[in-house]
Amino acid sequence: MGVWSVCCILLISCQLKFSCAHNDFFTSIGHMTDLLFTEKDLVTSLKDYIRAEERKLEQVKQWAEKLDAITTTATQDPEGFLGHPVNAFKLMKRLNTEWGEVEDLVLKDMSDGFISNLTIQRQYFPNDEDQTGAAKALLRLQDTYKLDTQTISSGDLPGLTTGLPFKSTLTVGDCFELGKIAYSEADYYHTELWMEQALKQLNEEEESSIDIVTVLDYLSYSVYQQGELERALDYTMRLLTVDPEHQRALGNLKYFDYQLAKQKKAEKEQSTKEESNKKQQEESERKEYLPEKRKYEQLCRGEGLRMLRRATISNPITGVLETAHYRISKSAWLAAYEHPVVDRINQRIEDITGLDVKTAEELQVANYGVGGQYEPHFDFGRKDEPDAFKELGTGNRIATWLFYMSDVPAGGATVFPEVGAAVKPIKGTAVFWYNLFPSGEGDYSTRHAACPVLVGNKWVSNKWIHERGQEFRRPCGLKETD
């Protein structure tokens, strides 16, 4: 059995131990696979229920056909029919006994097995947080890889032709739900994009529970919140052509008209040059605000290259391990005594790097979820977080070894924004770097990130090697600046 297979099996076994508690399904593809089998079991149970209901309906149908024939004949000559004492007896029997049996049959619940199964399984189902997390992941992928809503909705994602054979599309309802989730986060930019996509598909789909009035209502408000008054006014007027009595739209129409007139008056009083300078200044400020994020996303897309992991993170203030929104994955720790393969991996890392792994942290195996990523960060503890690894007692993280345990058809690269480097995950390969200079000072050029997984399933394992034990393997230089 290969190294990668054993690590995957060990991680899955660790996940199963905690399957009884809700655990952010969207943060790990490996964890979500359990849900597919749960759903398959529920479908089987539902089909059993359908077959039982069909058998029940067949019995009811036979009874109805028999009674239809009797009543049709009887009502043609009621007195003549009841003149036969057997018919009179059977009428009494039917109405007193047999119709009660039919009633019991109709009311009989054939869903006992299905309902009980569903009730048991529901406690393990994803919750609102999972659905929102998966939606945010799609929006994150959209931004990072510059995907338009049509590309995502049609399922034509980069990497599918060379990777997974599966393709899934979004319905009007799906697009509307993405827009609603963005709206609930006051993300009006993505609200607009997905409501526009829902509007576009409304004209293409034959049936949808989403009505155009609701979509236009969201659209008008989201573009208004982005300062586009004319477009907000256009959407509002379009809404009113469909529903002339829509109270909120009628109120917004007057308000948007007033604000638009006010805006145009202000624009006349301001020179074109001043406005141009203001826009340039705002653009400049935006560029200064998120330079690293833009560079990180560029590297994730493979732009600007100069060369070729819900896990926990250490709180820089408290030193406590906790979850973080910027790391979307799940992980498990594997000790050398748990399996001979883990011991061999540790030895191999020591042989290749020349560093002592006895004081290293245990091997961490991570599986990234929907849009799984880890935003730019350092592995080592900085001067402003002196207690980052105090509980370990082995000093700072001197080096990082990262294994790639699976191929990823699209996305998922490890990028180093400071040096413009990106490493594509290829199964069986690894990347190694020193986090500290020989002097013990942190190397800030090692700031790195895991790009969102666009298509596929990303498994990695890493070893964080610490300072203690390296005194004679990687000694300090003669100068402090070394």
Is residue 195's pLDDT more than 90? yes
Confidence at residue 313, expressed as pLDDT on a 0 to 100 scale: 47
Report the range out of 83-87, 354-358, 455-459 with the highest average pLDDT.
354-358
Question: Which H or E element spans position 91?
Answer: helix 85-93
The top-scoring range by mean pLDDT among 218-222, 329-333, 472-476 is 218-222
Measure Cα distances from 287 to 147, 227, 281, 295, 421 in Å.
21, 20, 10, 11, 21
Listed ranges 120-124, 205-209, 312-316; the one with the highest mean pLDDT: 120-124
Q: What is the pLDDT of residue 306?
A: 56
The string of pLDDT tens digits covering residues 402-460 is 999 999 988 999 999 999 999 999 999 999 999 999 989 999 999 999 998 888 888 99
Region 2-19: mean pLDDT is 44
Average pLDDT over residues 110-117: 74
Among 108, 106, 112, 123, which Cα is nearest to 46's? 112
Q: Please report which helix (H) or strand (E) contains residue 450, including its range.
A: strand 448-450
Look at residue 138 in the predicted model and tell me its pLDDT: 87
Least confident of 209-213, 258-262, 326-330: 326-330
Predicted local distance difference test score (pLDDT) of residue 423:
94
Sign of the CA dihedral running 461, 442, 302, 155: positive
* pLDDT given for residue 8 in this prediction: 47
Mean pLDDT of the chain: 82
Strand partners, 377: 448
Greatest mean pLDDT among 43-52, 85-94, 348-357 lies in 348-357
What pLDDT sits at residue 126? 78
Least confident of 42-56, 143-157, 160-174, 253-267: 160-174
Where along the chain do its domains lie? 30-122, 128-284, 312-466
pLDDT single digits (tens) 215-241: 999 999 999 999 899 999 999 999 999
Nearest to 164 by CA among 460, 454, 461: 454
Return the pLDDT at 4: 45
Task: Please say if the pLDDT value at position 10 is more than 50.
Answer: no
CATH H-level, domain 128-284: superfamily: Tetratricopeptide repeat domain (1.25.40.10)
Q: How many CA atoms lie within 13 A of 470 on its CB side?
A: 26
Joined together, the tokens standing for residue 188 give: 């009006």
User: What does the pLDDT read at residue 356?
Assistant: 96
Q: Residue 444 has what pLDDT?
A: 95
Of 141-145, 246-250, 304-308, 371-375, least confident by mean pLDDT is: 304-308
For residue 378, what pLDDT is reported? Answer: 94
Lowest mean pLDDT, pick from 284-298, 306-320, 413-427: 306-320
Residue type at 344? R
DSSP line for 183-215: HHTT-HHHHHHHHHHHHHHHTT-S--S--HHHH
421-423/312-314 β-pairing:
unpaired
pLDDT attached to residue 1: 41
Stretch (H or E) spanning 272: helix 272-289
Integer Cα distance of 78 and 80 in angstroms: 5
Report pLDDT digits (tens) over 46-84: 898 899 889 989 999 998 998 999 899 889 988 888 777
CA–CA dist 235, 216 (Å, integer): 6
> What was the pLDDT predicted at 116?
78
Tokens describing residue 416: 């180093």
Confidence band, pLDDT 50/70/90 cuts, at residue 347: very high
Interior/surface letters 415-449, b for 16+ CB within 10 angstroms, e for the rest: bbbeeebbbebeeeebbeebbbebeeebeeebbbb
Read off the DSSP letter of residue 271.
Answer: -
Q: Classify strands 329-334 and 453-455 as parallel, antiparallel or unpaired.
A: unpaired
Superfamily of chain region 312-466 = q2cbj1_9rhob like domain (2.60.120.620)
Query: What pLDDT score does 267 carry?
Result: 72
